[in-house]
Structure 1
Amino acid sequence: MSGFLYGVALQWKLDIRSKSLLVTCYIVPLIFFLLMGGIFTSVMPEMRSTLIQSMIVMGVSMGAFIGLPPSLVETYGSNIKKVYQANGVPLYLGLITMFLSAFIHLMMTCIIILLLAPILFEAALPVHFPEFFLALAIYIIVSLSIGSILGLIVKNQAKLTMIAQLVFLPSIMLSGIMFPTHMLPDFLETIGHLFPASWGYRLMLDHGFQFENMWYLILVFCAAVIVCGVLLKKQKSK
């Protein structure tokens, strides 16, 4: 256990030095929050009640879909994988340590947004903090599980960037954080429900922590765990 915790701590320190992760988990989400938070609350003052949840969905989606996958490609698409195998280290250990490290980074970003939003934009704080943080943790875990699939299945960085954007952009535009989903055409609203962002957003809203907003996230996570397991087995056989 001590070795595992050391690995997580080491990966966290390495991620801090990673320019890619720094940009996708901290700089871009926080800049977006500072710029768009003022615009949203000026144009739509009623958005103060959901501003924190909206900005968190954006930050988590960027970190999970654009920040984590390149780190996985660097590990499983390079000689680092051979080092793991040569030393008898399970291949899944790298995925788990990067997953937990990204979870910590994204949680820190979300806490920064949670602390600054009421001060800067008079945003409403969540009514029930335990439920909010549990919903947030679930949403981060599910989003990172999808990011893990992207990092394991796509080997080329250029293709990975394109595919990650194809997951990230609909997650933001069709989730309801920019405007109510009922304003969208029916087919776009349906497509939006395929992405975890819309479910995570509703789950984090006040009184939104209910099974009807959670079951799809649980289903996606279970499916992602199975897919990641299959992909790691394929990595081991290569």
Structure 2
Amino acid sequence: MKAFWQQLIIQLRMDLRDKSILLVFYLVPLGFYAVVGSVFSAVNPEIKPVLAATMAIFSITMGAIIGLPPALVKLREAGSLRAYQASGIPSIAVLISLGASAFIHLSIVALIIFASAPSLFGAEMPQNISGYLVTLAALLLCSVAVGLLVGATAKNQPTAMMLSQAIFLPSLMLSGIMFPANLLPSLLQYLGSVLPATHSMRAFRGLAYGLVAEYSAPLALLTVIGIG
């Protein structure tokens, strides 16, 4: 446990010095939120009730799926994992600390979106705050786990980026965060049902905002947890 906390502190310090991490975890998601949030709230008023949730899903998915795998592969390629092992820090502690660091960064971004969306874009506050936070935590854990899995299986950074894009882009287009998923053809809806972002959107709508849906919100939440 001591090794984990030591490595987590080291990882957080490294993140603050890494411009690519700050770009993927903070600048791009919050920039996208500022631009797209204003467009969505003006063009599609129906998205206002769940605007904070949709932007949180985008930010978390991008940070975990796009940001984590290259960082993990970079550690492995640079020989840092072997250096940690030689210093008495096991690889699993490094892996968990990397995931915990991403969890912290993405939680901060999600809470910024949650707190600012009502005042900036007229988004509605969730009817059930605890339901929102539980769904948010499940999405964070699941997305970070998927990001670590991609990073652990990719042999190099180009492969990691390719695998990340193969997950991120469908999550963006098929999950219902950009437009209602029921507008998609049946095949694409079926493909979207394997994505954590899809089930997270369903869980947010039902558990946090109390919106009537054709899918069971508790089941969607359990699916997100199961995928993670």
TM-score (norm 1): 0.88
Look up the equivalent residue of 1:121 and give its one-letter code: F
Runs of 4+ in 1 over 3 A off after TM superposition: 207-210
**Alignment partner, residue 43 of structure 1:** 43
Look up the equivalent residue of 1:126 and give its one-letter code: P
More moved, 4-13 vs 91-100: 4-13
* SS at structure 2 position matched to 1:194: coil
**Contact in 2 for aligned 1:199/1:213 (Cα 8 Å):** yes
Map 1:64-213 → 2, pairs under 5 A: 64-205=64-205, 206-207=209-210, 210-213=217-220
Unpaired segments of 5 or more residues in structure 2? none
**Contact in 1 for aligned 2:4/2:96 (Cα 8 Å):** no
More moved, 56-65 vs 201-210: 201-210
For residue 161 of structure 1, report the CA deviation from its aligned partner: 1.4
Unpaired segments of 5 or more residues in structure 1? 222-238
Task: Determine if the alignment matches structure 1 residue 12 to structure 2 residue 12.
Answer: yes
More moved, 77-86 vs 37-46: 77-86
TM-score (norm 2): 0.92
Look up the equivalent residue of 1:48 and give its one-letter code: K
**Contact in 2 for aligned 1:76/1:152 (Cα 8 Å):** no
More moved, 20-29 vs 125-134: 125-134
**How many percent identity over aligned positions?**
37
**Contact in 1 for aligned 2:74/2:157 (Cα 8 Å):** no
Structure 2: how far apart are the matches of 1:42 and 1:96? Answer: 41
Structure 2: how far apart are the matches of 1:90 and 1:195? Answer: 31
The C-alpha deviation readout for 1:46-88, integer Å capped at 9, x for no partner, is 2110101110111001001111111111222331121133233
Look up the equivalent residue of 1:164 and give its one-letter code: S
**Contact in 2 for aligned 1:75/1:81 (Cα 8 Å):** yes
More moved, 45-54 vs 79-88: 79-88
For residue 181 of structure 1, report the CA deviation from its aligned partner: 0.8
**Contact in 2 for aligned 1:25/1:67 (Cα 8 Å):** yes
